[in-house]
Chains A and B, each alone.
Chain A
Amino acid sequence: MSSKAPAETQGASRFTLDFRTLGPFVALALLMILGTMINATFISSANLTNVLTRSAFIGIIAVGATFVISAGGIDLSVGSMAAFISGVMIIAMNHFVNTVGVNWTTVMIGMGLSVALGLAAGLANGLVTTKGRIDSFIVTLGTMGIYRSLVTYLADGGTLSLSFQLRGIYRPVYYGSFLGIPIPLWAFFVVAVIGWIVLNKTRFGRYCLAIGSNADVAAYSAINVDRIRTLTYVVQGLCVAVATIIYVPRLGSASASTGVLWELEAIAAVIIGGTALKGGTSRLWGTVAGAIMLSMIGNILNLTDAISQYLNGAVQGVIIIVAVLVQRSGKGR
């Protein structure tokens, strides 16, 4: 009974709604202005393209995370899942080089395998969470450890490298561009558009929000809560697979340190974007802006001597906390 007065005026709630939606974009714009002021090279198209391309992995994973989080769950395993999938892809493609040959077919097999593994890993997360009635935080903390140690095991503690002949063929998937725009950016864009449509315009998306808002009400609305929840992890797994497909040609290798802390960056992008961690809302374009901001911060720190780039994580952390504070004060609670 000692609760504070809630957001009460309708005018204010309309304002905060806009604020919540627009906030991340305003912040992104401010960050860009700041970057340009610090160093003019920031705004050069080469630099911006580079920043955006780098944001694609986290961005694509964060699109999946938006599904999981809006439905009231969390997936901590995405970083190690990406590392594990990279590892298996590389081993498989190196193997098929001998039988199938150095050609696109081999790469396609690798990509197909990535998708299959992503779906399976997501399904595993989802089923254990829903059927086992275990908190998703715990489940994915567990699978995070499992996938990470599996890739370490596969690499025998070292690094798995893609065969050099294949790299030449696979390279364009990261370094190539279409209509002047890098392929990873296209992928990011397409994944985001599809993600937005599914979340905002389909029954599945509606159900995700309903479950995240109140799972009991969802069950009393004849929604198959377990199935929808499981599917959000499958969507997440698929997004990780797509991100991995783009990531592998970048370095052509995988090791125990691949994808470390990606889960935190993905979750941070979602939260900065205005999606509530407790579920029930989704701001997919906010997530996109959040992912871009995170990679931009690193870039700006690279371009200035004022703050050491080793403080990248600290700056990101501050921004996440500020974002949540701003959103909450905007909400009036």
Chain B
Amino acid sequence: MAGPILRTTNLCKDFGPVRVLFDMDFELQPGEIHAVIGENGAGKSTLVKILSGYHQPTEGQVLLRDRPVKFQSTKDAEDAGICMIHQEFNLANDLTVEENIFLGKERRRGLFLDKRYMKEHSREVLASLETDVSPNARVKNLSVSQKQMVEIAKAVSRNADVLIMDEPTAVLTRSEINVLFRLIRSLQAKGVSVIYISHKLDEVKELADTVTVLRDGYKVATQPIGELTEDMMATMMVGREMKDMFPDKDLEPKPDTVLDVRGVTSPGYAVDCSFHLKRQEILGFAGLVGSGRTELMEAIVGLRQRSSGQIEVNGQTASIHAYRDAISRNIVYLSEDRKGKGLLVEKTMGFNLTLLALKQYVRRLGMIDETAEAVSLRKAIEEFEIRAPSNTAVINTLSGGNQQKVALGKIMEVDPEILILDEPTRGIDVGTKQQIYFFIHELAKQGKSIIVISSELPELIGVCQRIIVMRSGHIVGDVSGAAINEEEIMRYAMGIKGGNNNEQQSAG
């Protein structure tokens, strides 16, 4: 039996004065699916970015088939057969899907690009992913899950020996995940080795052969999956026992309705949607990706065109035409697209934190009170336990989970009464997820009302008092109390139940 295909010895990585990886000895065996897990900021992405040539190690070595390699760029690594799917989308927004898949690897015939071949090949790869994305679509017009599928298609089409996936499923639905897993297994059967980073421990348990746990830049353990349970993995990651993932369901909504949505239609996405939200209620929105949940919420808060519909806030008709109208009524929306719509990735944490609530910081002569901003930043860092290299860190240098905490801090700055949280725990580790669930619960306890959109049903079931199900732009189900269970919700989401709407009204 041959040795590991990819191996690191004493790998260390510094960002300026801060060391984020310590003496990492990591081994990837040929043909295995090797999961890497750990809390936000543990160093998972940094490790795989070194393996794929995106970063260079400060100390230590990377060995490919026992030969030391020094990749200067991701291209070097790709040429050596190591390909990575980034946690952050790395697609060119203005190019088409096909152009992205072949970016840097364009196929030529004579002087010209072999368009026919590339189109055919893109279509094949996309078909193997069972996605309906067209090779001609522009990437900027795709939804996040479609973009993720394109990322995957791009990596798969490169025929790598080592495929690295950094949280590929964070934005995918269960059925898309199933397709992806089938694809990964078939690649494994062809001898491809896979490194798989995820915060979803159930997926890790289902897919991986081996698990490596990182904590604070150190390797805690590498073990075969058979020896581990999800709880054991969580404990190893967090360094303490994890129990009571979800808060008690001890809250009842108050009788008064704070948000009443009637017949809202957003052309192409949401059709004639009506629902209401009570004070102190935690209301979940379930549905497949593309069912129009995000678009409905964006239409409600004025971020998207609304062709009809009425919105009442606290019993009064509210004319919300722009997001600022919603903000002035204390309604906030946390976008699912953290990097595209939530945060300015090239700006500092502080710049982002106060951007939504900047009005509150304006003093005499329109000047911003920078001292007050600094105080807020320190408070947010403490309250959300944001782990950043420094207080002036640029968002780009934060780990994914810590970016999400900044995004949460940003919307809390306006002291909202109604919170619409779109995939609030996307890319967040178990420990932090738990914190966020308790945080939502605490907000409700303070009399605030919360809508949670999530593709993770266990999460909705764990925190919500009531769950609305959407399909193809329609609200098709509304379950509460004992009726809240996965099967029931899936029946609505798939159209087995509550199918009184025509299926032609498909949403994007």
Residues of A whose CB lies within 8 Å of any CB of B are 1-6, 8-14, 197, 201-204, 206-207, 209-210, 213-214, 216-224, 280
Task: Report B-chain residues with C-beta under 8 Å of the C-beta of A9.
Answer: 14-16
CB-CB < 8 A to A207: which residues of B?
358
In the bound assembly, the distance between CA atoms of A161 and B322 in angstroms comes to 50
- Contact at B18–A1, with CB atoms within 8 Å? no
The proximity string for B residues 254-267 relative to A, scoring 1 for CB distances below 8 Å and 0 otherwise, is 00000000000000
- On chain A, the residues within 8 Å of B83 by CB distance are 1
Binding site for A on B (CB under 8 A): 14-18, 53-56, 72-75, 78, 83-84, 86, 90, 103-104, 154-155, 158, 303, 322-324, 326-327, 333, 335, 340-347, 351, 355-356, 358-359, 362, 366-368, 389-390, 394, 396-397, 410
List the A side residues contacting B333 at CB < 8 Å.
Answer: 220
Q: Which of A10, A218, A280 has the most CB of B within 10 A?
A: A10
B468 smallest CB distance to A (angstroms): 23
In Å, the complex CA distance between A224 and B303 comes to: 11
Q: Is the CB of A203 within 8 A of B368?
A: yes
Name the CB-closest residue of A to B396: A6
Query: Chain A residue with minimal CB distance to B83?
Result: A1
Task: Select which of B84, B341, B346 is within 8 A of A213 by beta carbon.
Answer: B346
Given contact pairs A13-B394, A14-B16, a sample of 12 additional A-B residue pairs in the complex whose CB atoms are under 8 Å apart: A2-B104, A5-B54, A5-B74, A6-B54, A202-B366, A209-B351, A213-B347, A216-B341, A217-B344, A221-B355, A222-B327, A224-B322
**A213 cross-chain contacts in B, Cβ below 8 A:** 344, 346-347
Q: Which residue of B lies closest to A201 (CB)?
A: B367
Chain A residues lying within 8 Å of B104, measured Cβ to Cβ, are 1-2
CA A4 to CA B355, docked complex, whole Å:
31
Is B327 in contact with A217, judged by CB distance below 8 angstroms?
A: no
Contact B72 A11 (CB under 8 A): no
Contact of B344 among A11, A12, A197, A210 (CB under 8 A): A210
With A10-B17, A11-B17, A217-B342 in contact, do A3 and B355 touch (Cβ < 8 Å)?
no
**Of A13, A197, A203, A220, which contacts B342 at CB under 8 A?**
A220
Residue pair B73, A4 in contact (C-beta under 8 Å): yes
Contact B16 A216 (CB under 8 A): no
Q: Which residues of B contact A14 (CB under 8 A)?
A: 16
Q: How far is the CA of A142 from the CA of B423 in the complex (A)?
A: 44
Question: Which A residues are CB-close (under 8 A) to B155?
Answer: 1
Q: Measured between alpha carbons, how far is A8 from B74 in the docked complex, in Å?
A: 14
Residues of A within 8 A of B56 (CB): 5
Among residues of B, the one whose C-beta sits closest to the C-beta of A198 is B366
- The 3 closest A-B CB pairs, nearest first, are A10-B16, A2-B104, A11-B16
* Residues of the A chain whose Cβ atoms lie less than 8 Å from the Cβ of B78: 1-2
- Looking at the complex, which one of B15, B53, B343, B389 makes contact with A217 (CB distance below 8 Å)? B343
| Given A2-B103, A10-B18, A219-B303 contact (CB < 8 Å) | yes
Within the assembled complex, what's the spacing in Å between the Cα atoms of A47 and B4? 72
Chain A residues near B326: list those with CB within 8 A. 222
CA distance A1 to B104 in the complex (A): 8
Instruction: Supply 27 A–B pairs (Cβ within 8 Å), ascending by A.
Output: A1-B74, A1-B78, A1-B86, A2-B78, A3-B73, A5-B73, A9-B14, A10-B15, A10-B16, A12-B16, A13-B16, A14-B16, A202-B367, A203-B366, A210-B344, A210-B347, A217-B341, A217-B342, A217-B344, A219-B303, A220-B323, A220-B333, A222-B356, A223-B355, A280-B344, A280-B346, A280-B347
Residue with the greatest number of chain B CB neighbours at <10 A, chosen from A2, A11, A14: A2
CB contacts (< 8 Å) of B16 on chain A: these are 9-14
A14 to B348, CA, bound (A): 13
B17 contact set on A, CB distance < 8 A: 10-11
Taking a contact as CB atoms under 8 Å apart, the answer to whether B341 and A220 are in contact is yes
Which A residues are in CB contact (< 8 Å) with B18? Answer: 10
Q: For B389, what are the chain A residues with a Cβ–Cβ distance below 8 Å?
A: 10
Cα-based distance from A224 to B325 in the complex (angstroms): 11
Kindly state the separation between the CA atoms of A22 and B326 in the bound complex, as whole angstroms: 42
Residue of B nearest to A205 (CB): B368
Taking a contact as CB atoms closer than 8 A, the residue among A10, A11, A203, A222 that contacts B324 in the complex is A222
Contact partners of A201 in chain B: CB under 8 A: 367-368
Contacts of B90 in A (CB 8 A): 1, 3
The residue of chain A having its C-beta at the shortest distance from the C-beta of B354 within the complex is A206
A214, B344: Cβ atoms under 8 Å?
yes
When the two chains form their complex, are residues B359 and A203 in contact, meaning their CB atoms are under 8 A apart? Answer: yes
Could you tell me if B343 and A203 are in contact, using CB atoms closer than 8 angstroms? no
Cα–Cα distance between A214 and B78 once the two chains are bound (Å): 30
A60 CB to closest chain B CB (Å) equals 22
A102 to chain B, nearest CB (A): 39
How many Å from the CB of A234 to the closest CB on chain B? 16
Contacts of B347 on A, CB cut-off 8 Å?
A: 209-210, 213, 280
Question: Using Cβ atoms and an 8 Å threshold, which residues of chain B touch A11?
Answer: 16-17
How distant is the Cα of A329 from the Cα of B106 in the complex, in angstroms?
28
